Amino acid sequence: MALFDKQPEIPRSRFRDILKKSDIRIGQSKPLSENKKSLIENRDFSRKLGDTISKSEYERTVRGLESQKMHEQDFAKKHKLGKEIKFLKELEKRDPDPK
């Protein structure tokens, strides 16, 4: 079951909990730290946009990050953005409530 499998949007508080509990690894690296997860939440999914996150908002954010990565000149920043994009795509695919 995916993040938005049965509902068109999820509350930001639930999204925050899902982010905190996630242990997604990108390649051979360690999972993202709590600081990076909170940065993703605050920077990319701002509270200014409302109390819920819709599937279209989530996809728009991922596309925006991909566009930002494509235009970035610094390889280190490009690599960091790539990790964040892969993390968000994997988070969307996975079951938020594993049993």
* Whether residue 76 has pLDDT greater than 60: yes
In 1-99, alpha helices (H): 12-21, 34-44, 55-71, 75-93
Residue 13: inside a domain, yes or no?
Answer: yes
* Whether residue 55 has pLDDT greater than 60: yes
Residue 39: inside a domain, yes or no?
Answer: yes
Count structural domains, the chain: 1
The whole domain housing 39 covers 9-93
Residue 78: inside a domain, yes or no?
Answer: yes
In this prediction, residue 1 has a pLDDT band, given cuts at 50, 70 and 90, of very low
User: pLDDT tens digits, residue range 16-29?
Assistant: 888 888 888 887 77
Closest CA to 45 of 25, 15, 24, 66: 15
Say which amino acid occupies 47: R
Residue 36: inside a domain, yes or no?
Answer: yes
Residue 98: inside a domain, yes or no?
Answer: no
Residue 82: inside a domain, yes or no?
Answer: yes
Q: What is the radius of gyration, based on Cα positions, of the chain?
A: 13
Residue 60: inside a domain, yes or no?
Answer: yes
52 by DSSP, 3-state: which?
strand
Residue 30: inside a domain, yes or no?
Answer: yes
